[in-house]
Structure 1
Amino acid sequence: MRQTLRLTILFMLFSVTCVGQNKQLLYDFNEVPQSLLLNPGMATSFKWYAGIPLISGISFQAGSSGITSNDLFAVDGVDFNTKFREKVINGMSFRDELSGTYQIELINIGFRSRKNDDVFYSFGAYNEGDAIGYYFKDYAQLAYEGNTNNLNKKFDLSHLKTRGEILNVYHFGINKRVSNQLSVGIRAKLYASFLNFSSTKNKGYFLTTEGQNNLLRTTLDADIEIRTSGIFELKDVLDDDAVANGSGISSILTKRALLGGNLGLGFDAGFTYNLDQRTTVTASVLDVGFIYHTKDTRTYSLRGTASTEGISFFIPADLNNPEDQWRNLVDELEALVPYTESSENYLTFRPTKLNASIRRDFGKQIESRENCYCTSTVGGNNRGQLYKNSFGAHLYAINRPRGPQAALTAFYQYRFGTIMSLKSTYTVDKFSATNIGLGGSIQMGAVNMYLMADNLLSYRNIADSRYASFQFGFNIISWGKK
């Protein structure tokens, strides 16, 4: 069982290095249909749209608030062990994180109601992976330095915090223009989990003090739990030589994608409100929801308190059977701090996200093109008015295991008529204070293409970057004809 637990921990640590979630370039970018996923209540001017399957929306984000690969592997004449000790063991905080997400749209379609021109429907599905792991500082120090030279130091077991998941999201949204000032929207979501791991509520300590009968006395006060779902069914297929790995895994993932796995429910909501003809405020809350894990679940726990000074030998009586002394010590510790494994069900909540923005339009008003198929008003506000320039600010926050994580963005958007729009951003967050991003949307007849990238200054030296993000996609859009 302990080997299984170790494999699970290694899987979790590997996962957070492979696969954040702020999409400040895409948010309130009304020319791109995917921005409706970030604010169900955005001002919509599409007649209908259809994302090109699998390439309508692809995004990837990853960030590290602690170190970069350049900190460890730069050719600077400093010994690697020295850099590892200074940069990792002693240099990082338990609040430093490695996190990221990816998202691939499977289908995304929207259309305006025939009965009510103020109502717009959208539906689709996407695959998403999200993971975060905080630096387990005291665990690392204990493993690296040992406990002999750390007398009276309480190593905090709560430093182990990590969570991650891969899932499909099926969604249906309704957007309504209530008036020239206000648009509102809501989106229902059905979650189909492929796999999940979570260990976020650990408590306790490991303490070494001077002993009375031996040199040292160690105390363990532990309340540790690791929960997983969807992992071991895949592991069993990989371990089964009688089953082809490819077909076996494909069969499992297909079943889970078709709602045969762990399921959950959630919703998004948002609004857009015009303070005046050129000033707009927006807000949205995303992924208010949960997943109930009932299939292929494993829960590992270690709970209890124990103190020991090791084995005391009485010579010569105990020299003939030292194994009994060791066995008695192990049995005593296992009784005081029992390790358990179970298959109980558990509930996880989605990482809820909040967006809010204010935008000011200025410059020349772009004339509508009412007699063409490409647009009548591409983007714009609730009144259908479009201006060459916009600037504003965007606040983003996400719920994480160590509390809310926020980012603040200033942006400027310039429109080349109704054909092309560019947006630049400057973002300050946990990962960087110099995050400059650039995104663009091009309308070529009915085809819309967008491309966006963050933290552009870091591309001079990717190895020294703490954050990277990109998004792109293709859509077919009808803006209507009059």
Structure 2
Amino acid sequence: MKSTRLIYCAFLLAGLFVHAQNKQVLYDFTEIPQSLMVNPGARTDFKWYGGFPALSGVSFQAGSSGISVNDIFADDGLDINDKFRDRIIHGMDARDELSGTYQLELLNVGFRGKNPDNFYSFGIYNEGDAIGYWFQDYAFLGFEGNAGMLNRKYDLGHLKTRGEIVNVFHFGVNRRINGKMTGGIRAKIYSGIVNFHSTRNKGYFVTTEGQNNLLASTLVADMRMRTSGMNAVWDAEKEGDLVGTFLKRGFFGGDLGLGLDLGFSYDLNEQTVFTASLLDLGFIYHANDIRTYALKGEAAVEGIEILPQDLLDPNNDFWQELVDEVEELIPFEIDERSYLTFRPTKLYASLRYNFGEPIQSQADCDCGITPASRNRNRAKYVNGIGGQLYAINRPRGPQMALSAFYQRRFGNFMALKTTYTVDKFSKTNIGLGLNLQAGPVNLYVLADNLLAYRNLAASRYASFQLGINIISWGGKN
């Protein structure tokens, strides 16, 4: 059945994309040009930068809030069936999730305008994001059945999943507004490749005492799975043209949408900075290769009632009659109507206190003519310490994370940033970022949840980012 295949693929994709991504190590790490992608209002002192295509911004993140591979497959002497029942079926609930994000920059360039207070950046990146919540009552029903579960309602709303692959074309403006504040805005055009979502399901399945038979089963359903681009991808896979289909749909041949990023940095005083950003405030209109699978209605059946004379008729198909009865009461429908989805909007905020010896910026301090531009290149400090907040809009409500960080600069050639993050995936997430500057060549590597690298199979969360850029500061290079 095609709807079953869709549901299976939705959860498979959610696992393979191995949560939109919390880039807490990258955020406000202003030595790295990609920090503008998580706060368009971040401070910049570059004259221009250019990223190596497909190498300037590579990031990957995967998380499971309920279970790890090691919880099931560890060689601990316990029966795997018992572990599956106790740790998955009975150990997880409907708020547990399996989610992942990847991002790959195809182009990223930035340059300072004729007015040195303005910095412009543009580019293209490919992004995939998927999330699937644990379908708790479906698992109970499938694993244990409904025997002995009289009057228990199995909640069909436990099926919540969404995912997409999209190309993003962006153009941003970063402006030094005055001696204390820098603001930024980034416009985005989304070209959707693949989308699926099923997030507003309602209904239940319940078994009660029957009138004509011992038991009666009632199904009340209002369910929908919407997809865009999935059939085009499946057809392309059969025909061996998967790359061509991805390129076509990713470069304005698929679904289109618009979005904005907003951000700012504000100096509370000479050494204290407050920053905030709001990312992916936008939508995608899906009107290309649409399939919506819907199940809506109510049915109550008491099994198959077979009379003695019916047994003598070889043309009677009792099971098919039951199926036809249920399908008549709860019709399964497929349509191709367009639909709208909103992007998973993300919020960042941070408070930083800088201290220690000042380090003069590499930028040419004589490049500005206005008071704001002359203040743009104030010295950075050796040390920075502070906290960060992250929140993202998800199908079961906002998901948040809190981070504490410390940053250390070693002249203008190296900077380190370490973070400690608490979220639904881990309470011991220690991250580390390394930024190296060798002349104009910029290299950065960022990773999260380092303690879990001792045993990746036992980890519920993993994340890394890396990139290579060429940077110019003007006269000093």
Residues 384-395 of structure 1: pairs in structure 2 closer than 5 A? 384-395=378-389
Count of matched residue pairs: 466
Q: What's the CA shift for 1:322?
A: 7.5
SS in 1 for 2:291: strand
2:252 maps to 259
SS in 2 for 1:213: coil
Residues 396-415 of structure 1: pairs in structure 2 closer than 5 A? 396-415=390-409
In structure 2, the CA distance between the partners of 1:213 and 1:322, relative to structure 1 (3 Å rule), is farther
1:45 maps to 45
Q: What's the CA shift for 1:316?
A: 3.8
Residues 326-405 of structure 1: pairs in structure 2 closer than 5 A? 326-368=319-361, 382=376, 384-405=378-399
SS in 1 for 2:316: helix
SS in 1 for 2:266: strand
In structure 2, the CA distance between the partners of 1:371 and 1:345, relative to structure 1 (3 Å rule), is closer
> Structure 1 residue 480 and structure 2 residue 471: aligned?
no
User: Which AA in structure 2 matches 1:275?
Assistant: L
Residues 60-459 of structure 1: pairs in structure 2 closer than 5 A? 60-114=60-114, 116-239=115-238, 243=239, 245=240, 248-316=241-309, 319-320=312-313, 323=316, 325-368=318-361, 382=376, 384-459=378-453
Unaligned runs of 5+ in 2: 366-374
Q: Provide the C-alpha distance between the structure 2 equivalents of 1:260 and 1:191, rounded to a whole number of angstroms.
A: 11
2:12 maps to 14
Q: Provide the C-alpha distance between the structure 1 equivalents of 2:376 and 2:87, rounded to a whole number of angstroms.
A: 51
User: Which AA in structure 2 matches 1:197?
Assistant: F
Task: Give the percent of matched residue pairs that are identical in Structure 1 and Structure 2.
Answer: 58
SS in 1 for 2:27: coil
Contact 2:121 2:173 in 1 (8 A): yes
Contact 1:275 1:281 in 2 (8 A): yes
Q: 1:168-227 CA deviation, whole Å, 9 max, x = no partner?
A: 000000010001110000000000111111000000000001112111100000011001
2:369 maps to none
In structure 2, the CA distance between the partners of 1:471 and 1:368, relative to structure 1 (3 Å rule), is closer
SS in 2 for 1:403: coil
Contact 2:45 2:363 in 1 (8 A): no
Q: What's the CA shift for 1:371?
A: 7.2
Please say which of residues 349-358 and 362-371 is displaced more in the overlay. 362-371
Contact 2:64 2:96 in 1 (8 A): yes
User: Which AA in structure 2 matches 1:476?
Assistant: I
Q: Provide the C-alpha distance between the structure 1 equivalents of 2:355 and 2:79, rounded to a whole number of angstroms.
A: 56
SS in 2 for 1:36: helix
One of 463, 466, 470 as aligned partner of 2:464: 470
Q: What's the CA shift for 1:324?
A: 5.2
Unaligned runs of 5+ in 1: 373-380
Q: Provide the C-alpha distance between the structure 2 equivalents of 1:249 and 1:369, rounded to a whole number of angstroms.
A: 46
1:376 maps to none
Aligned-CA RMSD value: 1.6
Q: Provide the C-alpha distance between the structure 1 equivalents of 2:452 and 2:470, rounded to a whole number of angstroms.
A: 33
Q: Provide the C-alpha distance between the structure 2 equivalents of 1:459 and 1:112, rounded to a whole number of angstroms.
A: 40
Q: Provide the C-alpha distance between the structure 2 equivalents of 1:369 and 1:265, rounded to a whole number of angstroms.
A: 36
User: Which AA in structure 2 matches 1:333?
Assistant: V
Q: What's the CA shift for 1:231?
A: 1.1
Contact 2:45 2:361 in 1 (8 A): no
Contact 1:61 1:468 in 2 (8 A): yes
Q: Provide the C-alpha distance between the structure 2 equivalents of 1:61 and 1:433, rounded to a whole number of angstroms.
A: 17
In structure 2, the CA distance between the partners of 1:218 and 1:297, relative to structure 1 (3 Å rule), is same
Contact 2:167 2:193 in 1 (8 A): yes
SS in 1 for 2:100: strand
Q: Provide the C-alpha distance between the structure 2 equivalents of 1:322 and 1:222, rounded to a whole number of angstroms.
A: 32
Q: TM-score, normalised by structure 2?
A: 0.95
Q: Provide the C-alpha distance between the structure 1 equivalents of 2:123 and 2:269, rounded to a whole number of angstroms.
A: 33
Contact 2:236 2:245 in 1 (8 A): no
2:372 maps to none
Q: Provide the C-alpha distance between the structure 1 equivalents of 2:63 and 2:362, rounded to a whole number of angstroms.
A: 42
Q: Provide the C-alpha distance between the structure 2 equivalents of 1:270 and 1:308, rounded to a whole number of angstroms.
A: 57
User: Which AA in structure 2 matches 1:306?
Assistant: A
Q: 1:26-55 CA deviation, whole Å, 9 max, x = no partner?
A: 000000000000000111111100011110
